[in-house]
């Protein structure tokens, strides 16, 4: 009982710190970076580096407080500095934090609503993340540019968090971007047991025991060499089916 109460209190503190910390970074640290680093690309790179190290610290605190336990397999494949698309499943609210703490140079496609958030909107703008409501050509250009610069483009093909035990349903947008950009895809599986912070769950609905997050860096796909379809629509559907089957098998949902 005491362990549960401790983890509940720690979860609440860390949840508040996440949003409050984002606001403080946007009001203090990021403007200071902009003051001394005038070139936009260098400023964005420095800002994203701060976010990476902040998230590493955040995950370390969650582990230290006994809220989560983290196991990572194959992380070295994320550290070679080559730009590619990171495709991962999305079971919990912590997924993007986990991935960005593991990847030194990460770029994200984020919901446009986050740009308007009182707490996180400043972070999105200073970091130069990609809005998901851009025109298709502008979105593709931004994704290509990020990967050409050696950044890992994090994408959750479900579009939102999955519900525990439900069949995975991937949207086709990520496949079209991968095919048009000729991207190399790195597959990353995130498994959380017992599940916490899943879709529809409030922050205070924590499991009776500490959650174990397993992050497994798996297959790497060369889209151009793997899919030989003449028509992109057919290739995109095939890619979606292939990756849904892969993650279903990895997570034991079949």
Rounded Cα gap, residues 10 and 226, in angstroms: 46
Considering only the C-alpha atoms of the chain, give the largest distance between any 2 of them, rounded to a whole number of Å.
61
Rounded Cα gap, residues 242 and 49, in angstroms: 33
The chain-wide mean pLDDT, for the chain, equals 90
Q: The domain containing residue 19 runs over which residues?
A: 2-251
- For 187-230, write each residue's pLDDT tens digit: 999 999 999 999 988 888 999 999 999 999 998 988 866 655 56
- For 67-84, write each residue's pLDDT tens digit: 999 999 999 999 887 889
Sheet holding 152-155, edge to edge: 68-73, 211-222, 184-193, 84-88, 152-155, 106-110, 130-131
Mean pLDDT of 124-140: 92
Count how many domains the chain has: 1
> pTM for the full model?
0.93
Q: What is the pLDDT of residue 230?
A: 60
Q: What is the pLDDT of residue 54?
A: 96
Q: What is the pLDDT of residue 196?
A: 94
Regarding predicted confidence, which is higher, 32 or 182? 32
CATH code for the domain in which residue 170 is found: 3.40.1130
Place of tokens 């950009």: 181
Residues ≥6 apart with Cβ < 8 Å to 149? 41, 83, 105
> E-strand spans in the chain?
68-73, 84-88, 106-110, 130-131, 152-155, 184-193, 211-222
Mean pLDDT of 170-189: 91
Rounded Cα gap, residues 19 and 115, in angstroms: 13
Rounded Cα gap, residues 6 and 12, in angstroms: 10
């Amino acid at each position: 009982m005491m362990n549960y109460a401790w983890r509940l209190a720690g979860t609440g503190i860390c949840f508040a710190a996440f949003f409050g910390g984002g606001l403080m970074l946007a009001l203090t640290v990021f403007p200071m970076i902009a003051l001394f680093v005038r070139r936009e690309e260098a400023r964005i790179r420095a800002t994203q580096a701060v976010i990476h190290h902040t998230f590493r610290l955040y995950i370390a605190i969650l582990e230290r407080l006994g809220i989560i336990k983290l196991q990572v397999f194959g992380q070295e494949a994320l550290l070679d500095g080559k730009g590619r698309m990171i495709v991962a499943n999305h079971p919990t609210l912590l997924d993007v934090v986990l991935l960005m703490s593991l990847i030194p140079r990460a770029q994200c496609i984020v919901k446009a609503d986050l740009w308007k958030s009182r707490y996180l909107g400043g972070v999105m703008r200073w970091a130069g993340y990609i809005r998901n409501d851009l025109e298709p050509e502008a979105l593709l250009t931004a994704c290509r540019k990020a990967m050409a610069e050696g950044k890992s483009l994090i994408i959750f093909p479900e579009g939102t968090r999955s519900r525990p035990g439900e069949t995975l349903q991937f949207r086709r947008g990520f496949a079209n971007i991968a095919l048009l950009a000729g991207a190399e895809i790195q597959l990353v599986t995130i498994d959380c047991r017992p599940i916490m912070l899943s879709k529809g769950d409030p922050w205070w609905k924590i499991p009776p025991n500490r959650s174990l997050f397993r992050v497994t860096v798996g297959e790497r796909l060369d889209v151009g060499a793997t899919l030989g379809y003449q028509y992109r629509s057919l290739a995109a559907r095939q890619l979606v089916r292939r990756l849904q089957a892969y993650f279903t098998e990895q997570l034991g949902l079949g």
